[in-house]
């Protein structure tokens, strides 16, 4: 199983990006949706992205809901939080 | 019960990821306490220090002067709890003018790529 990185802020993303492998999954949530992920394939929590008005700016993101978030956590190990 | 035993026998590997400055609230000492408890329950615990958390490795901290627990001393006690694998981000050290030789306990310096591998070799990752 590959690692799932949960990104809670812009600084969290900056700390994570040099330390994640190609097959790792990255999910933006809460203020993590503000992260500049330019060109990187990431997941983003749809509700948090819509709430903050950044939905259209996250061009390479796959938007997921809470149920899919749960599914994602069950498909990866370990889960690493970057606040 | 059988299930619990099975998990224990497989020896779960826990990585404690510390990123906060040592006296930014009580996050770091609290996280270290949690790691000691995990080690007491026979999880195989390692610690990775990144960003401002590396300041916790400075010798000669005197947190009693600010009414706090000295993080350097907490780190010194880790081997007593069989936590012997303490890793540190080389870039975080050097960008703060610190060197692995100056640290209060022996640490293993890792590159960003090695840190990525480290996550993959653990079952659980906890944060400060």
What's the CATH code, domain A4-82? 3.40.1260.10
Shortest CA gap A46–chain B (Å): 25
A19 → closest Cβ in B116, B122, B124: B116
CA A4 to chain centre: 9
Contact A58, A33 (CB under 8 A): yes
Report the pLDDT value the prediction gives residue A38, as an integer from 0 to 100.
86
Report the pLDDT value the prediction gives residue A39, as an integer from 0 to 100.
82
- pLDDT score of B39 more than 80: yes
Contact A19 B125 (CB under 8 A): no
Contact list, A17 vs chain B (CB under 8 Å): none
Report the pLDDT value the prediction gives residue B7, as an integer from 0 to 100.
55
| Structural domains present in chain B | 10-127 (3.40.1260.10)
Q: What is the mean pLDDT of residues B21-50?
A: 97
Ordered per-residue pLDDT tens for chain A, 83 residues:
999 999 999 999 999 999 999 999 999 999 999 999 988 999 999 999 999 999 999 999 999 999 999 999 999 999 999 99
Contact A80 B119 (CB under 8 A): yes
C-alpha span between B16 and A7 (Å, rounded): 17
- pLDDT score of B4 more than 70: no
* Chain A contact for B122 (CB, 8 A cutoff): yes
Report the pLDDT value the prediction gives residue A63, as an integer from 0 to 100.
98
Shortest CA gap A77–chain B (Å): 6
- pLDDT score of B8 more than 90: no
Place of tokens 């000295």: B70
Report the pLDDT value the prediction gives residue B5, as an integer from 0 to 100.
54
pLDDT band at B3 (very low <50, low <70, confident <90, very high): low
State ipTM. 0.88
CA separation, residue B1 to residues B8, B34, B105 (Å): 11, 23, 38
C-alpha span between B86 and B47 (Å, rounded): 5
Q: What is the mean pLDDT of residues B40-55?
A: 97
Q: Could you give the angle at the alpha carbon of A15 between the alpha carbons of B127 and B94, nearest 5°?
A: 100
**For the stretch B88-119, what's the b/e string if a residue is b when 16 or more beta carbons lie within 10 angstroms of its beta carbon?**
bbbbbbeeeebeeeebbeebebbeeeebbebb
* Chain A contact for B69 (CB, 8 A cutoff): no
């Amino acid at each position: 199983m590959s690692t799932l990185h949960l990104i809670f802020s812009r600084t969290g993303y900056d700390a994570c990006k040099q330390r994640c492998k190609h097959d790792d999954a990255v999910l933006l949530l809460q203020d993590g949706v503000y992260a500049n992920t330019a060109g990187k394939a990431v997941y983003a929590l749809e509700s948090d992205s819509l709430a903050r008005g950044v939905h259209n700016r996250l061009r390479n993101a796959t938007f997921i809901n809470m149920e899919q978030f749960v599914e994602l956590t069950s498909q990866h190990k370990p889960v690493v939080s970057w606040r | 019960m059988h299930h619990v035993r099975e998990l224990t026998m497989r020896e779960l590997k826990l990585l404690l990821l510390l990123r906060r400055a040592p006296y930014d609230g009580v996050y770091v000492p609290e996280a270290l306490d949690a790691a000691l408890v995990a080690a007491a329950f026979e999880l195989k615990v390692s610690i990775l220090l990144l960003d401002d958390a590396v300041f916790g490795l400075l010798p000669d901290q005197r947190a009693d002067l600010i009414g706090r627990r000295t993080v350097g001393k907490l780190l010194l006690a880790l081997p007593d709890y069989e936590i012997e694998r303490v890793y540190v981000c080389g870039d975080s050290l050097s960008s703060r003018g610190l060197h692995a030789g100056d640290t209060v306990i022996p640490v293993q310096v890792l590159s960003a790529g090695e840190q990525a591998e480290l996550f993959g070799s653990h079952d659980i990752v906890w944060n400060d």
